Structure 1
Amino acid sequence: MDATAINGAGPARSAASITLEDIGKTYPDGTVAVGDFSLEVRAGELTVLIGPSGCGKSTILRMINRLIEPTHGRILIDGEDILQRNPVELRRHIGYVIQNVGLFPHQNIRTNIGTVPRLLGWPKAKINSRADELLELVGLDPARYAKRYPHELSGGQRQRVGVARALAADPLVLLMDEPFSAVDPIARGRLQEEFLRLQAAVRKTIVLVTHDIDEAVRLGDRIAVLAEGGRLLQYAPPAELLSRPDSTAVSDFVGSDRGIRRLAVTPLKPAMTPAGAGTTTGDRPTVGAGGTLYDALAAMLAVDAAEVVVVDGEQAVGVITRTSIFEVPEAEAKV
C-alpha cells in the first residue's frame, strides 16, 4: 500500500510513532478526566488502553484525533505536533473505528468505504479500486458485498467494513474504541483472528481501547493499564504484564488467573518434544504449530487427554504433555 504522511506529503511509509507528553483534560465544571498522561507508541505496534470505566481511556483516544481538545500537553505523530494542525484535515489522515461502526445506511458498502478518499479528492476509479482491495483484505468478496447496504450485513461483517473504511486513505495511525464489543462472543473471536491477520499485513500504528483483558492480551503488542483520572499504572508487553505486574492494583485488574492467560501468549516450542520418525496423531488431539500453550491445554481438556500432537499442515512435528506446559518458565513467554 502507498502510505501517506500525516500531513499528506513526504515519503511513503505505513506507520508513525505517537508521543503523548503530559496531556490532560479538565472540563469547565472542574472534572479531571485525564490528569498528566504520557505514553510512547512505537510505529507499527498495536497498543491497548485498558482500565475500569471512567479511567479516561476513550478520552485519551479522542484527544489523539482531536475530537476532544486537550487542556494541556503535546501530542506528536511522527514527530509533528498535531495541535498545530487543522483538526478536520488531521482526522482525514487518521483512521477511526468505533463500537457501533457508524456506517451510512443510505450508502452501499463500496461508497461507505470510499468516504475519506472522496473528501481527499481521489478520482472515482481509484476510490472504487481501493474499496474493493480493502474488502478482499478484510475477508469480504467485493463481487458479493460491494453493492450491498449496511442493513444487509451481519454485525461482524459491518465491523469489518468499518475497519476497511478506516484504512481507506491508508492512514499512518488507526484508532479503535472498543471495536468488537458489540458483537457476540463467537463473532468477536473470529473478528480478533481476522484483525491479527490484517495487522500482520498492513502493520499500522494502532491504539485500541477495550475493557476486556483477554482481548488486550490477545491483540496488543503493549498494554497500558490506566486508573481513574488517566493515571498510567503500567505499560508493558502482555507477557510481562501478566507475569510481573508492577503493583497490587495491576495484579488485581489482570486477575488471579493471569497465569492461565500467560499461556495464551506463550508459544508451543518451549514445552514441545520433537516428534520422532513415523510419529502420527493416532487418536490424540492436535494443535497447529502456530498456536500457543493455551491452545494445547484447551485441546487436551476437551477430550481429557494427557498430551497433544503439534502438527504443521498434516505432518506431526512434536508432542506436548500437560506436565510440560506447566514446567515452562515465565521467561519463555512472548515479551
Structure 2
Amino acid sequence: MDATAINDSGAGRTAASITLENLGKVYPDGTVAVGDISLDVGAGELAVLIGPSGCGKSTVLRMINRLIEPSKGRILIDGEDVSTQDPVELRRKIGYVIQNVGLFPHQTIRTNVGTVPKLLGWDRKKIKSRADELLELVGLDPGRYAGRYPHELSGGQRQRVGVARALAADPLVLLMDEPFSAVDPIVRGRLQEEFLRLQAAVRKTIVLVTHDIDEAVRLGDRIAVLAEGGRLMQYASPAELLSHPASQAVSEFVGTDRGIRRLAVTPVRGAMRPVGQIEEIDRLPTVEAGGTLYDALAAMLTSDSLNVVVVEDGKPVGAVSRSALFDVPNEEAAATSA
C-alpha cells in the first residue's frame, strides 16, 4: 500500500504504522478493561477491533490518542512512543471520528471541517480551500453544503462531515469509534461504500471499532477479535479469520454463516479453472475478474446455473463452478484477499 505521498507539511508520509505492545488498562476499582494486547497495524492498513460489549474496543482506541492512559504496555506510532509526546499535540495529529459525529451546532459545515487546521494556525484561505476539497472528496458539494449548519443535514451527511473534519489536517492516523452505527442499514451500506472509495484515495492508517461482523469483514484489511476483559483472541485478514477461526469462541463469534461471509472477501480468480473445460459458455452468466466468490454465487443463483464465466475487458478468462465456491481457501488465496 502506498503510504509515501507528500503531504502539506512536506513530510514524505501520509500514513504511519501503529504498534501495541502488551497494552493493558485496569481501573482503580480493579475492573480490567483491557488485559494484554499486542498487535501491529501497517502504514496504510485498516484494522478493525470487534468483540462483545465490555471487551475494551473503545478503550484501546482512546489509549492510542491518550484520552485514556494505559496501565501497562506501550503504543508506538511510526516507532515513537506516544507517552513521550504532548497529548494535545498528539491528538491534533490523529483524526478521530465518533458515533454521534460531535459537530459544533453553531458553526457552518465549512467551519466544522476546518476546526483542527484553525487550531494549527493555518490561514483562512488555506482552511477554506482544504475544507472545500474534503467536502468534495466525501461526496458533499461545497457550493451546496459548506454554508449550512449541522441540523440542516441528514445523519449520513453529518457522518461524512465528521470524516472530512478528521482528515482536515492530513493526519497519519485515523481512529473511528463505531462511525456508521447511528444511521439506518441502507445509509450505512452507502457510507461504507463511500468510505472504501475514500480510503483507496487517501490511504490512511485506520483503527476502526465496530460491533458488526459484516462491517468488519467488508472494511478491514485485518480484524482483531477481542473477548471480555480485553483479551485478543485472533488478529487476521477477513479471509483467514472466516476460513480458520483460532478457537471455538472465535468461530461462534463470527457466526455459523461465516462460509457465506468468506465468499465476499475471496477473489473470484482464486477458484477459476480454464474456460475450455466448460461447455456452452455463451449461455452462462458472467462475473468480472475483479469480483468475489459472493458475486459469482449471486450470478449462479440468479440464472440457476452451476457455473459462471469470469470475464476481463469483455473476454472470458476462466470459469468457476458452484462446487468450488465453498472450498476453504489456502493461505495464498487468503493473503491475496487481505
CA distance in 1, matches of 2:27, 2:70: 10
1:12 corresponds to 2:16: no
SS across alignment from 1:47: strand
- Name 2:231's counterpart in structure 1: 231
Q: Kindly tell me: are residues 281 and 130 of structure 1, through their superposed partners in 2, closer, same or farther at Cα, counting changes over 3 Å?
A: farther
Q: Is the 1:3–1:172 Cα contact (8 Å) retained in structure 2?
A: no
Deviations along 1:192-218, one digit per CA (max 9) or x if unpaired, are 111111111111111001111111111
CA RMSD of aligned residues (A): 2.4
SS across alignment from 2:326: helix
Q: Which runs of 5+ in 1 are unaligned?
A: none
- Name 1:178's counterpart in structure 2: 178
SS across alignment from 2:58: helix
Q: CA deviation at 1:15?
A: 0.7
Q: CA deviation at 1:320?
A: 3.9
- Name 1:296's counterpart in structure 2: 296
Scaled by the length of structure 2, what TM-score is found? 0.89
1:156 corresponds to 2:156: yes
Instruction: After TM superposition, list the pairs within 5 Å mapping 1:51-90 onto structure 2.
Output: 51-90=51-90
Instruction: Give, as a single letter, the amino acid of the residue that structure 2 aligns with 1:123.
Output: D
118-127 or 302-311, which moves further after superposition?
302-311
CA distance in 2, matches of 1:253, 1:122: 46
CA distance in 1, matches of 2:328, 2:110: 48
CA distance in 1, matches of 2:172, 2:57: 21
Instruction: After TM superposition, list the pairs within 5 Å mapping 1:182-221 onto structure 2.
Output: 182-221=182-221
CA distance in 2, matches of 1:108, 1:313: 45
1:3 corresponds to 2:32: no
CA distance in 2, matches of 1:30, 1:250: 26
Scaled by the length of structure 1, what TM-score is found? 0.90
How many aligned positions are there?
A: 329
Q: Kindly tell me: are residues 155 and 323 of structure 1, through their superposed partners in 2, closer, same or farther at Cα, counting changes over 3 Å?
A: same
Q: Is the 2:268–2:289 Cα contact (8 Å) retained in structure 1?
A: yes
SS across alignment from 2:245: coil
Q: Which runs of 5+ in 2 are unaligned?
A: none
Q: Is the 1:2–1:170 Cα contact (8 Å) retained in structure 2?
A: no
- Name 2:270's counterpart in structure 1: 270
Q: CA deviation at 1:283?
A: 8.1
Instruction: Give, as a single letter, the amino acid of the residue that structure 2 aligns with 1:163.
Output: V
Q: CA deviation at 1:23?
A: 1.9
Q: Kindly tell me: are residues 299 and 150 of structure 1, through their superposed partners in 2, closer, same or farther at Cα, counting changes over 3 Å?
A: farther
CA distance in 1, matches of 2:140, 2:299: 30
CA distance in 1, matches of 2:53, 2:316: 46
SS across alignment from 1:326: coil
CA distance in 1, matches of 2:327, 2:79: 44
CA distance in 2, matches of 1:123, 1:233: 47
- Name 2:123's counterpart in structure 1: 123
